[in-house]
Amino acid sequence: MHNNLLEVRGFIHSIESFGAVDGPGVRFVVFFQGCPLRCLYCHNPDTWKPGIGKDISVGELIEQIKKYKSFISSGGVTFSGGEPMLQPEFLEALLLACKEEGFHTAIDTSGALPLEKQKAAINASDLLLLDLKCIDTAVAKRLTGIGNENMFSTLDYCQQIKKPVWIRQVLLDGFTLDMEQAHLVGEKLKDYSCIEKIELLPFHQMASYKWEELGLKYTLKDLDTPDKKKTEEYKEILRTYGLIV
């Protein structure tokens, strides 16, 4: 790899060397610093602010990842956040460096940025873990501060270039866990051949303490984890549209 790419620098929040829920197999997960969204249920609000965290070069980070090659050889590397697409040059350089080392790569992204800012990284990745905040763009905006239009532009581009996608959605009572919405999601997604599967993530309160530590107002403190029966009903509706959930 050209030394100039190895010298590209960016800001990361943290790493997880044995991730099991961020793509296929055991993954080395890099959490980027900085995010344009303000999700009411965010479990990493400490990643929001850009330009802070650990300042690191692509070369330095790749050397860390290579130490775990034997453990992640059947999995790969996932870039999460925060929002990795906020640092597109750093992300693209990391993806290319990982490809040279033979690692499978995935980007966990909201797809919320303009598509032109994302294309190079999408092209260089093997898989997108793409967040569907809400099928109703007005509710998505209420939940995150941004509508879902860019996310669907991202998905359309993945369909165009045949880039594999896993859709992820957090289920929250009163927001996204709604059976009418489930039908809308199924109808919208059923014709995308790039979607390999959908992962439904029930809302939980495990990160609420981070909001308190950061002095942030947490508005979902009284919201319960979704009822399993309702979650199963939502899942079954999506399956009636031929989607793998």
Rg of the chain in Å (alpha carbons): 18
Decide if 244 is inside a domain.
no
Q: Is the pTM of this model over 0.85?
A: yes
Query: Looking at the predicted structure, is the pLDDT value of residue 124 above 90?
Result: yes
Rounded Cα gap, residues 158 and 196, in angstroms: 12
Decide if 245 is inside a domain.
no
CATH code: domain of residue 76: 3.20.20.70
CA distances from 43 to 94, 170, 205, 206 (A): 24, 11, 9, 8
Decide if 110 is inside a domain.
yes
Decide if 25 is inside a domain.
yes
Q: What is the pLDDT of residues 31-63, one digit of tens each?
A: 999 999 999 999 999 999 999 999 999 999 999
Label residues 143-165 b or e (16+ Cβ within 10 Å = b).
bbebbbebbbbbbebbeeeebbb
Q: Is residue 42 helix, strand or coil?
A: coil
CA distances from 188 to 37, 150, 197 (A): 23, 15, 14
Domain that holds residue 210: 3-239
Decide if 7 is inside a domain.
yes
Tokens of 123: 């092209």
Identify the band that residue 2 occupies on the pLDDT scale cut at 50, 70 and 90: low
Give the CA angle between residues 188, 141, 157 to the nearest 5°.
45
pLDDT for res 90 = 98
Q: What is the pLDDT of residues 223-241, one digit of tens each?
A: 999 999 999 999 999 999 9
Decide if 57 is inside a domain.
yes
pLDDT for res 73 = 83
Decide if 193 is inside a domain.
yes
Domain tally, the chain: 1
Find the distance separating the first CA and the last CA of the chain, reported in whole Å.
Answer: 38
Decide if 53 is inside a domain.
yes
Query: Looking at the predicted structure, is the pLDDT value of residue 138 above 90?
Result: yes
